[in-house]
Structure 1
Amino acid sequence: MIGFEKVYDLKNQDEYIKQVQEATLNTSNFGMQNTHGLFGSSEWWSNIESGQLECIEERGVIKDLYMGSMGDWPIVVVDNNGVLNEWTREAETDYQYSLYEKGKTIIVKYVIQLFKETSEIKKISDSLEDKVILEMWVEQSNKPSQSDS
């Protein structure tokens, strides 16, 4: 995307994908429903590419950055035409993490995946839906890119 830098791509997260797959296959309290194939599998990605599992794109302006949970979870607040959404601030390198700045445009591509019916998430949420981030893009800045360094 011209004018944007990709800061996160789920396809590069082998360890995370493996952990979700193991939880899905080997536990009853954790993991995802196999509605469109096993999370992160070739079948799952094919279903995203074909539109069977809809890829949703949110574009907005970074309104705020803060540490959530117990001060250990990086959050980005996105203003999408007056609707505020919070996302985990994902990045693959420290440089990419530094690109998050208030006022910049951000693009989040995600799918809605369902946790298992028997998931522990039921104890804290009324919904089994999880917005799984596929990619995050942040408006390029005047900072020198990693390759310029």
Structure 2
Amino acid sequence: MLTAFKRSCTFMQTVYTLTDALAKDPTRIAKTQALTLDPGKPRFGLKGSHGLFASDAWWESIRTGRIQTQTVTGIIERSYFAGQDSRRGDEVNSITLRLDDGSTVEESIYTNHKRDSKLFIAGATVAIRYVLDELKAQPAADGGIHYARTVLDVAISGSRGRE
């Protein structure tokens, strides 16, 4: 599953995979699948058209392209703390990415190991791959398909000037 992603990120280190995150939190799979299957919640959860979340059928649907993915790649302009929760010291959880077209996006920091958060510094290149999974609640506000964007993988390079 990660082969194409890793190939496009040749000089990058993978710091997050959904498979590793789910292995540490198996209840997330059960809760997500239960919500998909709950007929009493027709507007909440994933649609499940191409397999239940994290099932073999779901992963196969991602691999074959039946479930779309989206990759966001850019250079970190800044890292910062977002939110109201308390934090310790200089802990950061978000980044501003400058994309190739010159626009910026705000993204959260995802890592499987807390120590890798220190890699998210200005000048580093980040690639985030999302799975776009249809939600039960349709259509989206713009009339299109309403998707949940779930992070599949995150890879990061060293900052410019350090490589």
Which bracket does the TM-score occupy, shorter chain normalised?
0.7 to 0.9
Q: Distance in 2 between matches of 1:30 and 1:68?
A: 26
Is residue 64 of structure 1 aligned with residue 84 of structure 2?
no
Q: Distance in 2 between matches of 1:107 and 1:3?
A: 11
Q: Which amino acid aligns with 2:106?
A: E
Name the residue aligned to 1:17. Answer: 29
Is residue 87 of structure 1 aligned with residue 107 of structure 2?
yes
Q: Name the CA shift for 1:70/1:133 in 2 (closer, same or farther; >3 Å).
A: same
Q: 2:135 aligns with which of 109, 115, 127?
A: 115
Name the residue aligned to 1:139. Answer: 157
Question: How many pairs does the alignment contain?
Answer: 136
Query: Normalising to structure 2: TM-score of the pair?
Result: 0.70
Q: Distance in 2 between matches of 1:33 and 1:40?
A: 13
> Which of these two proteins has the greater Rg computed from alpha carbons?
2
Q: Distance in 1 between matches of 2:121 and 2:158?
A: 10
Q: 2:51 aligns with which of 37, 58, 66?
A: 37
Q: Which amino acid aligns with 2:117?
A: Y
Deviation of 1:5 (Å) = 1.1
Q: 1:105 aligns with which of 125, 128, 134?
A: 125
Gaps of 5+ in 2: 1-5, 87-91
Deviation of 1:40 (Å) = 1.1
Percent of aligned pairs with the same amino acid? 23
Q: Name the CA shift for 1:53/1:95 in 2 (closer, same or farther; >3 Å).
A: same
Name the residue aligned to 2:3. Answer: none
Check the 8 A contact 2:15/2:111 in 1, yes or no: yes
Check the 8 A contact 2:52/2:58 in 1, yes or no: yes
Gaps of 5+ in 1: 142-149
Query: Normalising to structure 1: TM-score of the pair?
Result: 0.76
RMSD of aligned C-alpha atoms? 2.6
Deviation of 1:140 (Å) = 3.9
